[in-house]
Amino acid sequence: MHNGDGRWSLPMPATYVVAKGGGILLAHVSPDYRTRLEPQAALAALTSSAAAAA
């Protein structure tokens, strides 16, 4: 048993970009473990948040 309970399911990878105040700026969750958020998308969310705060 690799995932703890014998089912044929896997955890889903998730990436969140969280603002200092706790708000979610970007969320990416995919049922396909091979699909990940592109780093450029996370950087764009951070850049946009920083520009809005300035």
For 5-44, write each residue's pLDDT tens digit. Answer: 677 777 889 999 999 899 999 999 998 889 999 999 999 9
> What pLDDT score was predicted for residue 3?
59
End-to-end CA distance of the chain: give it in Å, rounded. 51
Report whether 25 contacts 19 (CB < 8 A): yes
How far apart (Å, rounded) are the C-alpha atoms in residues 16 and 4? 25
